[in-house]
A and B are shown apart, each in its own frame.
Chain A
C-alpha cells in the first residue's frame, strides 16, 4: 500500500501521512483541540484542489499555522497523485535594482519555526533557502513550504529571495514562482551559461504565471566562478547583485579560510560588480556568537566597497546595520556635497569645489550612498 509522509513532529510543524482509502477520511490530532475543525478545513481545501476521492489523511499537528498545514498536505497529495494543479499566483510589487541590501538573512526552507518571524528583524533581504539547509529527502517538501510561506507570511517591505538548487532548477522555480519572490539566488554560478539557463526557466514560468521582474543574484563560490565573473555579471539584465560564498570557495581552492585567502576573490567580485553597476554582497559570517568578529569583518568589507553582508542568525542583522550606518560627520559632509552641487547647478557652474577640493562624480556618488545608508535620502 502506498504511503506518503510529509513534514516533521517539530514545534510549529505538522506531520501529514497519506494512504489509499475508500472515500475521503481525515484524521487530525491537534495540539489545541479547539483548532481541530479549522485544520480539517485547510485539508479539505487541499483535497478539493487535488480532486481526490479515495484517500486516508492523518495529520499530527504541533502548533502549525494554516500555511504549513496547506504546504505539507499539498506536497503529500502531489506525491501521492503526481498531479500538477493550477494555483492562484501571488501578486507582489517588483523591487528596485539598487535597493539597499545591507543584510540578507538566510532562512531554512523546510523549517516553519524559523520562517514565521523571518520578516520582523529588519533585514533588507530574506533568502528562503532550498539548497544547503535542506537535506535531499526534504527538497520537495521545502519547495511547497517556501511557496506557501511566500504567499502567506508578512514579509511586509522586506525583499524576499529564494535560493534554488542547481540540480533542481526547474522543479524549484516552477513551484516558488507561484509565490512570486522578488528574486532567485543562483548558487555555484560558474559561467554565463549557468545564468542563461536559469533566466530561460524564469522566463518560461513568468510567462505561464503572468508575472514579471524576477531579479537574479548569482552566488559565486568557486574558483571557476571567480575566474568567469565578468561573463556572469553580463549574462542577464535581471542581475542586481553578485554574492560571494566563502565556505565553498575556500574548499574549492583547497585553502584555509582567512582574510588573506579570500582577498583576491573579494577584490575581483567588487571590481566586476561595480563595473557592471550592480551590487557586491559579501559572504555570511558563520560564528554566530562572535559579534566582534562579525563587526570587524563587516567594517572591512564595507571599506572594500561591498554593499551587503549575509546573516545566518537574526541577531547578526542589527550589528551588520550598525557597521553600515555612517557617522554623523560623514552624513554632514555628504549633505554639504549635495548642497554644493545644487548651488553650482543654479549658478550654471561646471566645476564645483568644496573646502577647496574639486567635487567629481565619484565623490557625489559616495555622498549619495552615505545619505542613503544614513536614511537621509
Chain B
C-alpha cells in the first residue's frame, strides 16, 4: 500500500494488520479504552519489598511479557539496566521492552537482545541500540516506534498491553505515592509515567528514597501501585539534570534561532495570550530565550509555555512573559526548583499533553512550536528517526504531536551537517508529515510551506522568504547529494503516526 505520505508500507507485518496513514486528523476512533485490572491491597501487609527480584516474582513476570519504563532519569538512569539484569539472571526470556525513551546509558540492552532476554521493542530507540537493530535480524518482530502522544494512546487503547510498569521515583511513601520533585535523584515532572501506571497489569515503583506517608503531590498514585522496591540509587544525578543546558554558541545556529523569532513576530503570533512549545535542543533553546527577550521588550504576556522545561522557560514565568508552564519533563535544576515552588508551573501527564484519541490534548492549544529533525524534504516531510545513511538513531519524542497540534510549526535546522545536506528531495524516513509543518528556518533562508498561503501573505515584505527548492539547489552547489543507503528487505521498525496508522517503515541497512 502507498499511504498518504507517499510511502510504501506492507498491509500486514508480523501477523499484525497495518493501517496506512491517511492524514493528520482523519482517524476516528471507536470503542472503549482498555479497562485496567481491579486491584486489591491487604492493608495488613506491606507493599515494600526487599529487591527487584522479589517484585518480579510477586507480579509473576514470565517469558513473553511486556515491561515498561519512563525516561525522566534520561542518561542518568540506572533502573532499566537493573531490572533487565535481574530478569536475565532469573532466566526470564522473550521480553517486550516498552520504554518511553532510551538513552546511550542503556547500551547494555544490546546484550539482552543478543542473549534473548529482550526480543521485541516498542517505544523509542536511539543511538547504539538503534544502530544495532538497523543491522537487521536482531529482533523477533519489527520494533514499533511511537510519539509520546501515540504511545499514551496505544497504552490506553490496549494496543500496547503492559504487564509490568517499572516506575523510577526519587521520593515515594510506603503506599506508592510518588513524584519526581524531591530526593537526591530528583528529576522534576514525571508526566510520561502516567498511562503506564493506570493501565499496566502491575505497577512497581523503584525508589532510593522512602519518606513517611503521604508523599505529596501524589503524581503517581497509591491506587495504581502494587509494590515498592527500595534500592541504593535509581540514577546518577549528573546524567539526570544538567546544571544549565547550554545555548548554542554557533553564530549560524544563533541566526536560525533569531530568524525563527522574527517569523513569529512578523506573523503577528507574538501577542498577548500566545502559547509556545519550547524545545531543549541547542537551537530551540536559543529561540526560546529570544522569544522571551522579544516579549519582555514589547510588554507581551503569553498564556503558557510547554515542552521540555529548562531555565529559559522558567525565566519566562518568573519574569512575567508567560502566565503558566505546562511541564511533562524538566531538564535542569532551575526547572525542578520552579516546579516545587511555583504554583503556576503545572505538571501534566502524557495523555493530557499529546494523546489525539482523547477529549483533547494540550498540543492543540499551542500557537507556535519550535522543532528540529535530521532531514526535511521539499514537501516539508520531516525525518526524526533515521539518518541519511538509513540508520535508526532517534526516537520520535513529541515531534508528530506538537507539529499536528501547533498553529505554526517552525522547523529549525542547519542546511548542512558535516558532509550531509539536510534538505532532501525525499526524506529517508517520514516521521512527521509535511502537511503539519509550516515553516523551515535555516541559516541560509526561510521557506514557508506553500499550503500555508495565509502565513505567506502575513510574512510577505516583512521577512525574506525563499522557495524550499531554491534553498535545496543553493546548498547542492557546495554540498553534494549523498548516495542512497543500501537497504535490505527486512523491516526493522514501524514508524507509527500518533493516531496508530503507519506513516513509514525502516528497513535494515546493508553494510
Report whether A34 and B255 are in contact in the complex, using a CB–CB cutoff of 8 Å: no
How distant is the Cα of A314 from the Cα of B443 in the complex, in angstroms? 13
Give the distance in Å from the alpha carbon of A12 to the alpha carbon of B483 in the complex: 19
Q: Are B444 and A63 in contact (CB under 8 A)?
A: no
A261 within 8 A of B: no
The residues of B with any CB-CB pair to A shorter than 8 Å are 251-252, 254-255, 387-390, 416-420, 443-444, 474-475, 477-480, 482-483, 485
Are B416 and A35 touching (Cβ within 8 A)? no
Q: Which residue of B lies closest to A114 (CB)?
A: B251
Q: Are B417 and A63 in contact (CB under 8 A)?
A: yes
Indicate if the CB atoms of A152 and B419 lie closer than 8 Å: no
Min C-beta distance of A105 to chain B, whole Å: 10
Q: Is the CB of A66 within 8 A of B251?
A: no
Asked, given contacts A120-B443, A315-B254, whether A35 binds B419 with beta carbons under 8 Å apart, the answer is yes
Indicate which residue in B387, B478, B483 contacts A65 across the interface (CB closer than 8 Å).
B478
A120 touches B482 (CB 8 A): no
The closest CB in chain A to the CB of B443 belongs to: A120
Pairs A–B under 8 Å by Cβ, sample size 14: A11-B418, A35-B419, A35-B482, A35-B483, A38-B419, A38-B482, A65-B478, A66-B419, A66-B478, A117-B443, A120-B252, A121-B251, A154-B474, A154-B478
Residues in B with CB closer than 8 Å to A137 are: none
Q: Are A120 and B444 in contact (CB under 8 A)?
A: yes
Instruction: Give, as a whole number of angstroms, the nearest-CB distance from A298 to chain B.
Output: 19
Answer whether A67 and B478 are a contact pair too, CB < 8 Å, given A34-B485, A120-B255: yes
A31–B419 touching, CB < 8 Å: yes
A314 with B251: CB separation less than 8 A: yes
- The answer to whether B418 and A63 have CB atoms under 8 Å apart is yes
B309 to chain A, nearest CB (A): 28
Which residue in chain A gives the minimum CB-CB distance to B249?
A315
Residues in chain B near residue A33, CB distance under 8 A: 389
Contact B252 A117, beta carbon cutoff 8 Å: yes
Q: Which residues of A contact B478 (CB under 8 A)?
A: 65-67, 116, 152-154
Report the minimal beta-carbon distance from B304 to chain A, rounded to whole angstroms.
31
**Chain A: interface size category:** 20 to 34
A33 to B478, CA, bound (A): 20
Known contacts A32-B420, A313-B251; is-contact A154 B482 (Cβ 8 Å): no
**Bound: A37/B485 CA distance, A:** 12
Chain A contact residues: over half helix, strand or loop, or mixed? loop
A64 proximity list for chain B (CB < 8 A): 418-419
A144 vs B337: C-alpha distance in the bound complex, in angstroms?
53
Least Cβ–Cβ distance between B478 and chain A, in angstroms: 5
Nearest residue, chain A, Cβ from B481? A38
> Which of these, B252, B416, B419, B477, contacts A32 with CB under 8 Å?
B419
- Which B-chain residue is minimally distant from A315 (CB atoms)? B251
- Indicate whether A35 sits within 8 Å of B420 (C-beta atoms), given known contacts A120-B443, A154-B444, A154-B478: yes
Tell me how far the C-beta of A180 lies from the nearest C-beta in chain B, rounded to whole angstroms: 16
B251 → A minimal CB distance (Å)? 4
- Tell whether, in the assembled complex, residue B387 and residue A32 are in contact, meaning their CB atoms are under 8 Å apart: yes
A116 to B479, CA, bound (A): 10
**Residues of chain B within 8 A of A38, CB atoms compared:** 419, 480, 482-483
Kindly list chain B residues whose C-beta atoms are within 8 Å of the C-beta of A153.
478
Contacts of A63 in B (CB 8 A): 417-419
Interface majority SS on B: helix, strand, loop or mixed?
A: loop
Closest 4 A-B residue pairs measured CB to CB? A63-B418, A34-B389, A314-B251, A117-B252
Q: B419 — which chain A residues lie within 8 A by C-beta?
A: 31-32, 35, 38-39, 61, 63-66
Contact A65/B479 with A32-B420, A35-B419, A117-B443 known, Cβ cut-off 8 Å: yes
B418's partner among A31, A117, A154 (CB-CB below 8 A) is A31
Measured CB to CB, the closest approach of chain B to A214, in angstroms, equals: 23
- Cross-interface CB contact of A116 among B389, B416, B420, cutoff 8 Å: B416
Cβ–Cβ contact B255 & A121, under 8 A: yes
Q: How far is the CA of A65 from the CA of B420 in the complex (A)?
A: 8
Q: In the complex, which residue of chain A has the Cβ closest to the Cβ of B420? A: A32
Known: A31-B418, A35-B419. 13 other contacts (CB 8 A): A32-B389, A37-B483, A38-B419, A38-B483, A61-B419, A63-B417, A65-B416, A65-B479, A120-B255, A120-B444, A152-B477, A154-B474, A314-B255
Complex CA distance for A72 and B86, rounded to whole angstroms: 53
Closest to A122 in B: B255
Q: How far is the CA of A226 from the CA of B357 in the complex (A)?
A: 76
Q: Which residues of A contact B252 (CB under 8 A)?
A: 117, 120, 314
> Which residues of chain A come closer than 8 Å to B477, judged between CB atoms?
152, 154
A62 to B417, CA, bound (A): 11
B-chain residues with CB within 8 Å of residue A67 when the two chains form the complex: 478
A26-66 residues at the B interface, CB under 8 angstroms: 31-35, 37-39, 61-66
Q: Pick from A32, A37, A121 the residue with the most CB of B within 10 Å.
A: A32
Cα distance A121–B420 when bound, in Å? 21
A33 to B482, alpha carbons, bound, how many Å? Answer: 11
Cβ contact within 8 Å between A66 and B389: no
The listed residue (A12, A34, A62, A117) touching B388 by CB distance below 8 A is A34
Chain B residue nearest to A316 in the complex (CB): B251
Q: Please measure, in the bound complex, the distance between the C-alpha atom of A35 and the C-alpha atom of B419, giving whole angstroms.
A: 8
State the CA gap A63–B475 with chains docked (Å): 15
Residues of A with C-beta under 8 A to B444: 120, 154
A293 to B406, CA, bound (A): 41
Can you list, as one digit per residue, whether each of A57-87 has a CB less than 8 Å from chain B (1) or not (0)?
0000111111100000000000000000000
Q: Which residues of B contact A31 (CB under 8 A)?
A: 418-419
Minimum C-beta distance from A44 to chain B (A) = 14
Q: A38-B480, A67-B478, A120-B443 are in contact. Are A32 and B251 (CB under 8 A)?
A: no
Output the least CB separation between A270 and chain B (Å): 30
Which residues on B sit within 8 Å (CB–CB) of A121?
A: 251, 255
Which residue of the partner chain, among B416, B417, B483, contacts A34 with CB atoms under 8 Å?
B483
CB nearest to A41 among chain B residues: B480
Q: A31-B419, A121-B255 are in contact. Are A66 and B480 (CB under 8 A)?
A: yes
A173 to B416, alpha carbons, bound, how many Å?
30
CA distance A11 to B250 in the complex (A): 13
Q: Which B residues touch A154, using CB under 8 A?
A: 444, 474-475, 477-478
- Complex CA gap A35/B389 in Å reads 9
By a CB distance below 8 angstroms, the chain A residues around B485 are 34
